[in-house]
């Protein structure tokens, strides 16, 4: 399993969200509030992790859209019932 997949497998929601916030809008992070929480998962967050998550999300969305444009990925057939 590649290192990035191992990192994602061990990740908690709070660490993921805080990492994204650190990467995308660090000026809005309240570090004092992170230390006051019962759950300490957000303290494991880093801006570098957040950048990696954001890059991977963009890569996967771009690959999906490219697959739709190329015809490799087709939307599911929707059934309409009057």
Domain segments of the chain as ranges: 3-70
Structure confidence at residue 37 (pLDDT): 86
By the 8 A CB rule, do 21 and 47 touch? no
Structure confidence at residue 68 (pLDDT): 93
pLDDT-based confidence at 8, cuts 50/70/90?
A: low
Q: Is the pLDDT of residue 4 over 80?
A: no
Higher pLDDT, 7 or 23: 23
Q: Is the pLDDT of residue 34 over 90?
A: no
């Amino acid at each position: 399993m590649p290192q990035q997949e191992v990192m994602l497998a061990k990740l908690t929601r709070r660490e993921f969200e805080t990492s994204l916030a650190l990467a995308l809008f660090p000026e809005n992070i309240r570090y004092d509030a992170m230390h006051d929480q019962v759950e300490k998962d957000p303290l494991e967050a880093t801006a570098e992790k957040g950048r990696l998550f954001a890059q991977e999300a963009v890569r996967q969305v771009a690959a999906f859209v490219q697959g739709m444009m190329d015809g490799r990925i087709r939307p599911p057939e929707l059934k309409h019932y009057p």
